[in-house]
Amino acid sequence: MLDRKFVLENAELVKANCIHRGAHAEIERFVELETQRKVKLNQAEELNRQANATSAKIGSAALADREAIKEQGRKLREQKDTTQAEHDALDKEIAAILSRVPNMTHPSAPIGRDDQANLEIARGKTAIPQFDFQPKDHLQLGKQHDMIDFEAGARVAGAGFYFLKNDAVLLELALQQFAIQLLLKHRFVPVSTPDVANTETLHGIGFIPRGPETQIYSIENTDLNLVATAEITLGGMYAGQVLEAESLPLKLVGISHCFRTEAGAAGRASKGLYRVHQFTKIEMFAFTLPNQSDAVHEELRQLECDLFDLLEIPFRVVDTATGDLGGPAYRKYDLEAWMPGRGNGGEWGEVTSTSNCTDYQARRLNIRSKTKNEKGTQLVHTLNGTAIAISRAIIAILENHQLADGTIRVPAVLRPWMGKDFMGT
């Protein structure tokens, strides 16, 4: 969340940012309540001081006066407790308002209400394929080669679940190894994370685990939730911790399953593997000093581009518009791959994103850094970026690397793990 003092001193700026991001936040109400809270805090502290001073008089007072002094002290403490309770109620309401205020936005981010305002800023090295045959979509290719089974998934778990089989399994494992090995060369620490996290951690990262708008599967009668991304668990790893400033940036690459309800996601563009309830993802996450986060954000973006260039997938990078940013993101880049089977003759589809969340998540999770031989701590910055979302990467590979007979060419970088040059042969 944002710093209270910052919001109080920049109320109009924060209000304008909320409008640009399509967020409803009661900034004027916050200012009113925060002003009242400060008054109550000062009153409670003064009453406590008076109560302590009164108690200190008891020992030196005449015996006849002691009961009156004790009664005066008791009344002061009652007033202090009442005022403190009023302060705490205000503080709780303020925290609820702040939890709905999104992060501030990078000044270069395009202003717009949704993804239609996203700004294309780069293209990958691979050109959009020009087929001399009618290309198939990934569902047709998956059925032809017995690689994807949605019908069995529905029988076992319901619509939106699926089985990967045969070459698709080898492809999933190859993509994991490929991404992790590349990121190890860039000094990322590999982490296999839990597939569940408690509600406090989800709130800290910026997810809403329960309620009508949630995309999270919550586990009944527990405080646990299935994670929608390893961003949740990787960010929560260091909740309440103080990191050595000299060790930053700390870059992690996490492997996890991801679970999403994808409510309201039906539609032609969401067919097949594009929006599913479970998939495997390789996630990059970084903890940095404040003056490092912009550079690390560019590094994460470049790594996403490198991964898809090596996979020989056509893509474009877009600077995400204000209305399409999630609450925690200060700036976000999306990488959209060309998917020949999408729409009428092919469309771009998001495959990765990377966000700089500045200190928004760290303030909620209380993650700080400390420099040796210096007093005090400061909040770190957190960043996240998708390395490979397996389900969407599979779509892009199958559809872009298909041949006229329906076989699929395996990208050269995956062949050591696939053990073959073509799928479906």
pLDDT at residue 215 in the model: 86
| Contact predicate 319/412, CB 8 Å | no
The rounded distance, in Å, linking the Cα atoms of 59 and 36 is: 37
pLDDT at residue 265 in the model: 55
| Contact predicate 408/142, CB 8 Å | no
Q: What is the pLDDT of residues 111-162, one digit of tens each?
A: 999 989 999 999 999 999 999 999 999 999 999 999 999 999 999 999 999 9
Which residue ranges in the chain fall short of pLDDT 50? none
Strands 242-244 and 368-370: parallel
CB neighbour list of residue 400: distance below 8 Å, 6 or more residues apart = 126, 129, 312, 313, 314, 337, 338, 339, 340
Half-sphere exposure of 314 (CA within 13 A, CB side): 14
pTM confidence score: 0.92
Domain residue ranges in the chain: 4-98, 115-423
Residue 368 vs residues 57, 160, 375: alpha-carbon distances, Å:
43, 39, 13
pLDDT at residue 10 in the model: 95
Q: How far apart are the first and last CA of the chain?
A: 53
Domain 115-423, classified CATH 3.40.1440.10, yes or no? no
The rounded distance, in Å, linking the Cα atoms of 270 and 4 is: 40
pLDDT at residue 404 in the model: 95
pLDDT at residue 67 in the model: 73
pLDDT at residue 343 in the model: 86
Q: What is the pLDDT of residues 32-72, one digit of tens each?
A: 999 999 999 999 999 999 988 888 777 676 666 777 888 88
CATH number of 4-98: 1.10.287.40
Q: What is the pLDDT of residues 249-276, one digit of tens each?
A: 999 999 999 999 986 655 556 689 999 9
